[in-house]
Amino acid sequence: MQTKRTIFPNKGLPYLLLAPQLVITFVFFLWPAGQAVKSSFEREDPFGFRTTFVWFENYQRLFREPSYINSLWTSLVFSVAVTAISMGVSLLLAVAVNRLLRSGRIYTTLLVWPYAVAPVVAGILWWFMFNPTIGILPYVLDALGINWNHRVNANHAMILIVLAASWKQISYNFLFFVAGLQSVPQSLTEAAAIDGAGPFKRFWTIVFPLLSPTTFFLLIVNINYAMFDTFGIIDASTSGGPAGATNTLVYKVYADGFLGLNIGSSSAQSVVLMAIVIALTAIQFRYVERRVQY
Amino acid sequence: MANIDISGVKKVYPGNVTAIHDLDLSIDDGELVVLVGPSGCGKSTLLRMIAGLETITEGTVAIGGDVVNRKEPAERDIAMVFQNYALYPHMSVRGNLEYGLKNRGTPRPEIDKRVTEAARILEIEPFLERKPRQLSGGQRQRVAMGRAIVRHPKAFLFDEPLSNLDAKLRGQMRIEIKRIQRSLKTTSVYVTHDQLEAMTLADRLVVMNAGRIEQVGKPVELYEKPASLFVAGFIGSPPMNIFETATLRELPGVSLPASLPQGADVIGVRPDSIVLDQPAGAAIALKGTVELIEPVGGESHVYVRLAGIEQIVILVVQGRATFGETDEVAFYLPEAALHPFDKTSGRRIE
Amino acid sequence: MVENRPFLTLLTHLVLIIGVVVIVFPVYLAFIASTRGGGDFMSGVVPLMPGPHMIENYSRMLTAGLSTYGAPPVWQMLSNSLIMALAVSIGKIAISITSAYAIVYFKFPFRFLAFWLIFITLMLPVEVRIIPTFAVVANLGMLNSYPGLIIPLIASATATFLFRQFFLTVPDELMEAARVDGAGPMKFFRDILLPLSRTNIAALFVILFIYGWVQYLWPLLVTTDTRYYTIVMGIKRLAQVADADPLWNLVMAAVMLAMLPPVLVVIFMQRLFVKGLVETEK
């Protein structure tokens, strides 16, 4: 691993400089993660007196549990929908802003601020809009003959959290797409224009392929976001309901472990989640590192 | 001010790469010694060992009689000028000059005095309050010099300080450095890969190759009596012509002077000592076809392809050449201008 | 662009205007609600025009809150959020910059291991280790306290990587020149490296401030005492009751107040924000 050509000769100082970070990492990250792995192999008796080592029993049970399979499916649908919607919309907006010169900056400012809105707040805002009694959107939908109620209708609930989560993520994707578009050399599109390609053809044959490293990077980041950073949105709008229709993996860990106090199952769920994050991070670093050399 | 003694110094990098092999060099008080050689020859490593920026694997470096192997750069009382200047970008020129003095606890009036003095010597007074990025390359170079001067160190160490400047500015700064070094009489070690810079600056020149010293001496000595084929090829421009004696002997009508020492299987001749008219003493007479003439102002460089063998010889002709390209010319290598070398060892034969 | 096509330019503006409307609309609605009287939410649809009760609603929430529903005054939650966001961002920056300094400017046994340990934190978000982390904090007696809210969040791999990346671009000669000038490691860090990192620190601060402000799950776990509620989690408690009793005007006033600080940071420090966002993700 890279260092400077010359280095300071001190022996103890680097450890001192690293100590705060490492202590916190160990106490609040590694130790708890280790505990999660350990208790995912254990079962506690109902009174909490004894724990027994049960090998993979917790995992076996978990994957036999219909509600967990349902939660896996829910997470998948949710992640794919959020990623597709937020990336699609932000790409469109980024391309539009990139066509403009000065007014582009004003639009950018108007589009990026939702990044700073807390997921819970985003959840509340959309929940308010879709509130079946007083919300504006159910009112409009009613006129179209749709009886909106996310409290009882599973699909409605899913649509609600997908929209809220996508809304919040657009600003992030937008900024990265704009940065990606700006790094596409102007000379390339000019050359394509001379070759007789119209604006739409130029976009799909020249710009979009050159944008693929950014797109791929965002794909991973968005899946990660939908999986792990949307707890607040769900908690504020649907609380996993109705009947588990929006109970994503992260929400389920919280609900089972913290509210339901089922430690063994919750730990096994945590370990599965860790595996997912590790896989996503590995993919991200493996491919994203190469994204500079298109 | 002090002398620098380097004895038995060796540098081995991790992975057993030897950068410097058992090297000895003494630098006198007030002397300007230039280390020159191709890149990777170990000249910068040697300088950085004197500075304390590289550890010394074996041997000792002494500054002013003090062995400094274990001392931090700051404790060695040296100042260094870097190739990219290494000015602190967030400090003003004044801040850059003062930093080293402040760290040493120099009293304020003394700091001000020295900064004023250095600024005057280097003519950078108008820029003292500016940031480095507001200066031109030449001005930054002066500030880097100033940072060394204010310290009144035992020695100046220069690490290719002019490489980032354009040719014209490089010439000016070379003269400037020489002038300042002369007036301050501070022991200086100067590293460069530019042989012209080396020749013009040095009191003494050290030619290095592959971690070893090839030759040490006054620039003129090295030019007139290169101790090895490497030095012969490295010093002087255009470079020395090298002939294998065996090849020359086979050319029809060519005879070698009897005075040529035993075992001289290679001989070198400087382009400017080749003559077109038969000289009074013994000489090697050669013929060839002119391939190219480069007029460079007061003189012309002529590239001649030798008849019979495919070797190019470079001649320096004063003024304009009296012949044109593709012409046949005869020329002579005077006996006194021949540099005899042993082919296998590359050493000069006396 | 290469050629001038008025229709395409019109379409561009149209797309962007629709985009902005969609992005802004939920917040607009919340703002409208926060200016109305309580009676406007009894039935029917949410009003679309501002009402006259803005000052009344906001000042009531700021100073009194909804104590009958277990929500403290908003100013108190705001100040908790501010403390948390500031401490988290400053803490993250402080421990990351020193770690990166150690990793780049020194060679020592276990350097590689240290780097990997920090890297691993990327793969362990709070969400995947909720219960055991809660247990650790509980055992350390840090529930319902500022340290409990802050310290477990300040380890940061991304900030460490950002500083490492930046330090690697600082020319080696600068450190060598400083050493020749008599600066030791801490002096070099303070006099040279820290001032050079100013923009990076500022950009990172903007991102981390937002990160600290929007935290929800963690405060939800470690605080039960209303004195330590942050605004973001307090809002959730408020919203729960708002639906039963139609207090939407008051809840939305609190929502607006919760959004305002980080959103203002993004708008007014947009250049730093963009730099921080794009660079920490490299």
Q: Does C171 touch chain B (CB under 8 A)?
A: yes
d(CA A62, CA A269): 8
Chain A hits for C156, CB-CB cut-off 8 Å, are 21
A253 and C130 within 8 Å at the Cβ level: the answer is yes
Nearest residue of chain A to residue C186 (CA atoms): A13
Residue C6's pLDDT band, with cuts at 50, 70 and 90, is confident
Count CB neighbours of B255 within 10 A: 12
Q: Is the pLDDT of residue B18 over 60?
A: yes
Q: In chain B, where does the domain assigned CATH 2.40.50.140 lie?
A: 241-341
| Cβ(A4)–Cβ(C104) below 8 Å | yes
The phi, psi pair for A142, rounded to 5°, reads: -60, -40
A36 and C22 within 8 Å at the Cβ level: the answer is no
The pLDDT tens digits of the residues spanning C103-113 come to 999 988 898 89
The H or E element that residue A203 is part of is none
Q: What is the DSSP letter of B159?
A: E
Q: What is the average pLDDT across B91-107?
A: 93
Q: What is the pLDDT of residue A105?
A: 86
Q: What is the average pLDDT across C108-123?
A: 88
C179 and B72 within 8 Å at the Cβ level: the answer is yes
Q: What is the pLDDT of residue C278?
A: 81
Q: In chain B, where does the domain assigned CATH 3.40.50.300 lie?
A: 4-234
The pLDDT tens digits of the residues spanning C217-262 come to 999 889 888 888 899 988 888 877 766 666 788 888 889 999 999 9
Q: What is the pLDDT of residue B112?
A: 95
Q: What is the pLDDT of residue A267?
A: 86
Q: What is the pLDDT of residue C246?
A: 66
Q: Are strands B155-159 and B187-192 parallel, antiparallel or unpaired?
A: parallel
Q: What is the pLDDT of residue C2?
A: 45
Domain extent listing, chain C: 6-280
| Cβ(B27)–Cβ(B33) below 8 Å | yes
Q: What is the average pLDDT across B309-320?
A: 88
The pLDDT tens digits of the residues spanning B176-197 come to 999 999 999 999 999 999 988 9
Q: What is the DSSP letter of B321?
A: -
Q: What is the pLDDT of residue A290?
A: 53
Q: What is the pLDDT of residue B58?
A: 92
Chain C hits for B51, CB-CB cut-off 8 Å, are 176, 180
CATH code for the part of the protein at C6-280: 1.10.3720.10
The pLDDT tens digits of the residues spanning C74-97 come to 899 999 999 999 999 999 999 999
Mean pLDDT of all residues belonging to chain B: 91
Mean pLDDT of all residues belonging to chain C: 87
Residue C130's pLDDT band, with cuts at 50, 70 and 90, is confident
d(CA A271, CA A225): 18
Nearest to B79 among C180, C192, C198 (CB): C180
The pLDDT tens digits of the residues spanning C136-189 come to 999 999 999 999 999 999 988 889 988 998 999 999 999 999 999 989 999 999
Q: Is the pLDDT of residue C120 over 90?
A: no
Per the model's pLDDT, the better-predicted residue between B206 and A101 turns out to be B206
CATH 2.40.50.140 correct for B241-341 = yes
Q: What is the pLDDT of residue C47?
A: 75
Q: Are strands B299-306 and B283-295 parallel, antiparallel or unpaired?
A: antiparallel
d(CA B239, CA B339): 13
CATH code for the part of the protein at B4-234: 3.40.50.300
Q: What is the pLDDT of residue C97?
A: 96
d(CA C186, CA A256): 49
Chain A hits for C236, CB-CB cut-off 8 Å, are 120, 124, 232, 235-236
Size of the A and C interface in Cβ pairs below 8 Å: 307
Choose among C213, C270, C280: nearest CA to A110.
Answer: C270
d(CA A128, CA A134): 8
Q: What is the pLDDT of residue A292?
A: 37
Q: What is the pLDDT of residue C123?
A: 83
Q: Does C196 touch chain B (CB under 8 A)?
A: yes
Below-70 pLDDT ranges, chain A: 1, 46-48, 287-294
Q: Which of A2, A6, A17 to mutate to test the interface with C (most CBs of C within 10 A)?
A: A17
Choose among C248, C148, C265: nearest CA to C202.
Answer: C265
Fold type of domain A57-292: MetI-like fold (1.10.3720)
The pTM is what? Answer: 0.86
Q: How many residues does chain C have?
A: 282
Chain B hits for A10, CB-CB cut-off 8 Å, are none
